[in-house]
Amino acid sequence: MPIILPEDPTPIAKVPSTENKTGGWRTFRPVIHYEKCIRCYICWKFCPDAAIYFAPPEAHESPKEALAKFDTVEINYDFCKGCGICANECPVKAIELVLEESVGGDE
């Protein structure tokens, strides 16, 4: 039997990282309190894992009429690792970190 060697000289992954769900690493779950969220997208900018994404304006309530026409944000818990950066950066403290067990984590 001949030795089977990989074709590439070094591992070159063509499978996108979205195939590898890593949300199970989370200890704390960031939960957005939409009644405070001013749709500034700072959390979206800072999230190191692109786990925050845009949702249509009407998907959630808004604290002010003037903000209601802008897109809102949501968190993809399949990839959020609970680092808490978003909660730390949110200027109006709209993101709360909740211990995963206390919300019955599903990962």
Partner 1 sequence: MKMILTGNESAAWGARLSRPKVIAAYPITPQTSIIETIAAFIANGEMDARYIRVESEHSAMAACIAAQNTGVRTFTATSAHGLALMHELLIWASGARLPIVMSVVNRAMAPPWSVWTDQLDTMAERDSGWIQLYTQNNQEVLDSIIMSYKIAEKHNVLLPTMVIEDAFILSHTAEGVDVPDQKKVDDFLGEYDPAFKLDPDDPAGFGSLIMPEGPYMEFRYKMALAFEDARNEIKKVVEEYNETFERNYSPFIEEYRTEDADAIMVVLGTIGSTAKDVVDRMHEKGKKVGVARVRYFRPFPAEELRMLARKTDMLGVVDRSYSFGPGADLYAETRSVLYKHTDIPVKGYVMGLGGRDITPQILEKVFDDMLSVAKEGVVDKEVEWVGLHGDERWS
Residue 100: count other Cβ atoms within 10 Å of its Cβ.
18
Query: What is the closest distance, in whole angstroms, from the C-beta atom of residue 36 to ligand SF4 in the complex?
Result: 7
Encoded one letter per residue, x for contact with ligand SF4 by CB under 6 A and - for no contact, window 4-43 reads --------------------------x-x----xxxxxxx
Q: Residue 35 has what DSSP assignment?
A: T
Task: Return the DSSP state at 91.
Answer: T
* Chain centre to alpha carbon of residue 28: 12
Which of 68, 74, 85, 105 is the binder for ligand SF4 (CB under 6 A)?
85
Q: What is the DSSP letter of 38?
A: -
List contacts with ligand SF4 (CB under 6 A).
Answer: 30, 32, 37-43, 47, 49, 51-52, 73, 75, 80-86, 90, 92, 94-95
